[in-house]
Each structure stands twice: as C-alpha cells, then as structure tokens.
Amino acid sequence: MINPTVGTIIKANVTDENDGYFFAQVDGHTYEIDKLELEKPLKIGGFVTGFAYENENHKFQITKQLPTVQKDVYGWGTVVANRHDLGVFVAIGLPNKDLVVSLDDLPTISTLWPQKGDKLMLAMKEDNKGRLWGEIAQQQVIDAVSRRAPQELKSKTVKATVYRNKIAGTLVITDEYYLGFIHPSQRDDEPRLGQVVDARVIGVREDGALNLSLKPLAYKTMDEDAQFLLLQLQRRADHFLPFNDKSNPEAIKKQFGFSKSQFKRALGHLYKGRIIEQVDDGIKLIEE
C-alpha cells in the first residue's frame, strides 16, 4: 500500500519503544525513530516531528536529520555507488538511505555516468508504487539558481560541476552558481555527469555565462626551446622575429643557440598552441 507521507515532513504520535527505537504512528502507518539520534527520549503519547521515508530495510522511519533534498526541493547529493542495471546511488544526508537516480535519467554512454564522489543537483520524485527516486535538476532549475558572472573572472580558474552532457559541449555550474560551457575543442576527454572540474575562464559572455577550458595554458605544455622562442618574441616591441622554417641553420644557431630541427619543433608547439602566426619573412606573436 502506498504511503502518502513518505518523502515529507510529518508529525506522528509516539506509541511504543524498545531498546533501539521509539515507534510512532500516522494514518495507520508505523514509523521507527532511532534512539541514537535523539538528544533526549521521546514520551509515549507525545508527538515527534521529522522527515518520513522508507529505509534500506524497507521499514518506515522518521528522522530529525533533514535530507539535503526533498520533493520539489533541489539540493546537492554525493554519488556513493552505481549499478549498471539500476542507476547511481546518491547520499543526501539520510542515516540509512541513499537516493537512486534511474539509469533512464543518465547518459546513454555509460562512461559518462557519475562515479563515486561526484555531485548531482537533484530532488525527490515518487513513482506510481510510492517509491522515492532522485530527479536530476533540469535546465530551468539550474537557470533559477544561477548568477551572472563578473567580467573580472577572465583568465581565472573556477571549480565547476557538470550538470549536462551535450553534443555541442559540456554544461557546468560553478561553486558560485555561475553557468559555464566547455566546447569540445577545449577539453581532451569529455567529463562525466557530476564530475567536479577545475576550469580556466577564457571568456565571460554578455548574458553572464562563462566560456571555459580544461586545457592548460599553452606555455605550460611547451618544451624549453618553445618557451625560449616565445620569450624572444615577447621581448621585442613588434613581437616579430625574421625567422621561419625556411631560415638558414647557421643563422638559427647563432640567434637562438639550437639546431634547425629544434627550432622547427619549437615552431610546431607555438603554431599548435595558436600563439604565433607566419607572416612575410618571419613569425609574429598572435595578440590575444
């Protein structure tokens, strides 16, 4: 029989107790209350108020430890396990109950499922059998809690949680509730739903959302020769060097102190990082 009070805060009449639990009733349903979580004993005949749910032993229970999420109340939960035949289990602050997000509500690609330690914004929903499930926050909910990001965040690093995976890119929300977007070109691997990432802000849009990158700054991935070549470009007022991959090896050796093959590898790093461009008779630093 479906219990309509499950998943809500209720007031119940205390009717009995044993060594470990008090028992209370509402509308013919009996709930247990763990004595270990009570600061002082309940009185038989009195009342207790708390959150009602069905615990992992399929018994009705009332707890004074309110969960982070409820019906139509969204909050963050932490993934504790997953089962590919069922979904992912999310801890929401209940003493002995994790909320399950059904596999039907998870990405089709299983490698993008949340893993242990990942975070999900969700609420409770009830199926037609009275069972509670986790409902992942949809875009309108994310929009409602989000804030506009300030322009000063440009080039800063933010911590963000993936809330949706799309073909066009990855949608995230930062710890400060700024919305962010990671284009596929700005990541090596697609982050999974619920994964917390450290992302670099490469742009702040007019609507206050962030364009983000999971790739390190180009100079951090360069070898020493490329860094030296970049330094030479930066030191010149016009950011230009009259050298390219056709330059004389002796001239390269005299100017930079390394071989032509080293020079060409350094050029390759800078071209790949879109840091330089080839112009007439040389190379030039691309202005950001």
- The CATH architecture of the domain made up of 75-137 is Beta Barrel (2.40)
The model's pLDDT over 131-164, given as tens digits with 9 standing for 90+, comes to 899 999 999 999 999 999 999 998 899 999 999 9
Task: Say which CATH topology domain 219-285 has.
Answer: Arc Repressor Mutant, subunit A (1.10.10)
Segment among 20-24, 36-40, 117-121, 276-280 with least mean pLDDT = 276-280
Looking at residue 230, what is its pLDDT?
Answer: 84
Looking at residue 221, what is its pLDDT?
Answer: 54
Tokens representing residue 49 in the block: 């108020």
| 139 or 276, greater pLDDT | 139
Q: Is the pLDDT of residue 1 over 60?
A: no
CATH code of the region 9-63 = 2.40.50.330
CA–CA gap between residue 60 and residue 32 (Å, rounded): 6
Tokens representing residue 162 in the block: 């993936």
Give ranges for CATH 1.10.10.10 in the chain.
Answer: 219-285
Task: Say which CATH topology domain 147-213 has.
Answer: OB fold (Dihydrolipoamide Acetyltransferase, E2P) (2.40.50)
CA–CA gap between residue 98 and residue 77 (Å, rounded): 9
Number of helical (H) and strand (E) elements in the chain, helices listed first: 4, 18
Tokens representing residue 161 in the block: 């949680």
Tokens 């020079």 identify what position?
Answer: 263
Give ranges for CATH 2.40.50.330 in the chain.
Answer: 9-63
pLDDT band at 225 (very low <50, low <70, confident <90, very high): confident
CA–CA gap between residue 50 and residue 70 (Å, rounded): 12
The C-alpha angle 180, 185, 186, rounded to 5 degrees, equals 45
Give ranges for CATH 2.40.50.140 in the chain.
Answer: 75-137, 147-213
Q: Is the pLDDT of residue 183 over 80?
A: yes
